[in-house]
Structure 1
Amino acid sequence: MPTGTLRPWRSRVKNSLQTLLIMGGLALVLAVPGYLLAGGPGIVMSLGVVIAVALAGSWVPARYVLAEAGAGLLDRHQAPRLYRLLDTLYQRAGLTQSPQLFYAPSPELNAFAVGTRHDGGIAVTDGLMRTLTLRQLAGVLAHEVSHLRHGDTRVMSMAAAMTRLTLWLTTVLQISLLLMLPMILAGELRLPWGLLLVVAFAPTLSTLLQLALSRNREYTADLDAVSLTGDPEGLASALNVLEHYQGRWLATLFGRHPPAGLDWLRTHPPTDERVRRLMSVDETPEPALHHPLEDQGREPAEIIERPGPMGRRYWIRRRR
């Protein structure tokens, strides 16, 4: 193994282990209120509901979000350069499905993956297309391809389902405590301190774990994007541009330097840390996989024709 691949490999292993630990932590936090309410069967039922919701959510909500956002499906003749770029990224990522690129007429700078590696796509906004150069956009698209490649939408759907169910179960526990309050005041029951601690901290802990998982998957997608493009500077430059435009609301609220504690409440890691990690990646990987992509100029990516919205019924259709 070339020494240049050691650092990315170790980072990916570390991030994967962190993902397993965080998912285990979410399951444990969920299991506690489930056990308090129904014992062992409560744990099994809670985890079963999470799996069912995650599997169902990976099919419907992504397409529903696209329809609600007024997004349209870009055909190849409408964005030929972008599709050539995606063809290369999909091939390097080992994705056998043909790429699908969606366009949302929003001024915000955003891109996101929808669906799974077998039936998914990538959505980009008008603001992103007008702001980033083709080289920067290559890094962003590679980042989203990585999310599809590793099934991050399904992982995050499962984490979100765990957090919501933890909140619902602790709400039931709160109602139970209120119903037991007369007996506690009458001295017939002792105050259940353990139950109070679960009700107080479980929802917050589950939310923090979910946010930590999101940041972990973003770090992993960054590293994987570099392996697909061989160009860490392109993605780092795009992240700086996104931070310049999207970080302004924090500066408005908290001044030029937002409190460091806010990092725990982010769905995405701090941009400076992401850029630092990207620039620390060794730039001598295997040429067959990482040689620079062609056609990466400084001009913005061109969309020859912008599509109309797909309509609210699009989400019920599967890819042909």
Structure 2
Amino acid sequence: MLVLVLFGISTLAGNLLFGEAGLWVALAVSLFALIVEPVATSVLTLRMYRARPIHPAEAPDLWALIYELARRAKLESIPKLHYIPSTMINAFATGSRRHSAIALTDGLLHTLTPRELVGVIAHEIAHIANGDLRVMSLADYVSRLTSLMALVAKISILLSLPWLLSGQLNINWWGLLLLVISPQLALLAQLGLSRVRELDADHTAAELTGDPRGLASALARLEQINRSWLAWLLPGWGNPEPSWLRTHPPTGERITRLLALETSAHTPIPNTGSQFSPTSKPIRRPPRWHPGGFWR
């Protein structure tokens, strides 16, 4: 439903800006993004994070875990493991269901316990199995397309000011207002979609591992580590409130849902140590901050 809302906002913006041709252009670009964009984005993302592949001989336990989780998730191909020499604590999946990669930072590998690491990797496998990589990539692309069309509309209005002031040009002001706020509407739909997919990935990860408490423990640990002193002085800092402005559901809600899934259809996966000694030296400089978040 949220994906359809995003498509609707994008095509409506295209129709208001360029007429019927704009509607079909928006649909065509969105379909093109659905087919091509995930693979291209995966390569660029891994390069930006300076990720390198982890050879199976370097971390046999990690690869054994990936194989078992992929088997339980019924994936057609095994995700490729990548290492990011960063002290930030992070993990993410990228690509598509058939051609996927999971990246783990140095900080994550040296901070989480083996049980917590199993939960986090299972969460990323769940994103791949549920098709979230393609869905969220499409949502991001459609949202950016809507923002671009809104920007074109604003520039067109500025260039048309002389004709507007002289009364030689009539404008549908309600349509213009809808076009201007369409990026915000698309962003809210995108954030809502992200939160839904995160909750579904948590649920799938608990089913894959048979140990929802492992992922719950990892989430609690990450929340405690990432909670800065500003968060104590300014509640909501770094995690916008109200909750519909967040990319992820509140950690407390995720943990509560996980702990309610104590029974599982799968046999719990034994805890495994990573036993991974990377040759790349971790990047020790602090991450740079920008309005969109932290970046290396």
Shorter-chain TM band = 0.7 to 0.9
Match of residue 139 from structure 1: 119
Match of residue 14 from structure 1: none
Residue 274 (structure 2) pairs with residue 301 (structure 1): yes
How is 1:206-217 mapped onto 2 (pairs within 5 angstroms)? 206-217=186-197
Question: What do residues 110-156 of structure 1 show as CA deviations (whole Å, max 9, x unaligned)?
Answer: 00012122111211000000011111011101100011112211111
Question: What do residues 40-71 of structure 1 show as CA deviations (whole Å, max 9, x unaligned)?
Answer: 22111111112213432211221222122221
Q: Which amino acid in 1 is paired with 2:268?
A: P
Taking the aligned partners of 1:154 and 1:200, their CA distance within structure 2 comes to 27
Once the two structures are TM-superposed, the CA of residue 23 in structure 1 deviates from its matched residue by: 0.7
Once the two structures are TM-superposed, the CA of residue 273 in structure 1 deviates from its matched residue by: 0.9
Select 2:202's aligned residue among 212, 222, 226.
Answer: 222
Residue 168 (structure 2) pairs with residue 192 (structure 1): no
Q: TM-score, normalised by structure 2?
A: 0.88
The unaligned stretches of length 5 or more in structure 1 are 1-20, 310-320
Residue 246 to residue 222, structure 1, CA distance change in 2 (3 Å): same
Residue 242 (structure 2) pairs with residue 266 (structure 1): no
The alignment's C-alpha RMSD in Å is: 2.1
Q: Which amino acid in 2 is paired with 1:225?
A: A
Q: Which amino acid in 2 is paired with 1:197?
A: L
SS of 1:108's partner is coil
Once the two structures are TM-superposed, the CA of residue 96 in structure 1 deviates from its matched residue by: 3.0
Match of residue 285 from structure 1: 264
How is 1:1-320 mapped onto 2 (pairs within 5 angstroms)? 21-248=1-228, 251=231, 254-256=233-235, 258=237, 261-281=241-261, 283-286=262-265, 290-294=266-270, 296=271, 301-303=274-276, 305-308=277-280
Contact 2:206–2:264 (8 Å) recurs in 1: no
Match of residue 287 from structure 2: none
> Which structure would you say has the larger RCO, counting Cα contacts within 8 Å and 6 or more residues apart?
1
Taking the aligned partners of 2:97 and 2:21, their CA distance within structure 1 comes to 34
- Runs of 4+ with >4 A deviation: 256-260
Residue 249 to residue 155, structure 1, CA distance change in 2 (3 Å): farther
Contact 1:115–1:153 (8 Å) recurs in 2: yes
Taking the aligned partners of 2:55 and 2:141, their CA distance within structure 1 comes to 34
Residue 265 to residue 184, structure 1, CA distance change in 2 (3 Å): same
Contact 1:33–1:170 (8 Å) recurs in 2: yes
Identity over aligned pairs, percent: 41
SS of 1:267's partner is coil
Question: What do residues 242-264 of structure 1 show as CA deviations (whole Å, max 9, x unaligned)?
Answer: 11112327516x53565862533
Question: Aligned residues, how many?
Answer: 280
SS of 1:60's partner is helix
Once the two structures are TM-superposed, the CA of residue 274 in structure 1 deviates from its matched residue by: 0.7
The unaligned stretches of length 5 or more in structure 2 are 282-296
SS of 2:11's partner is helix
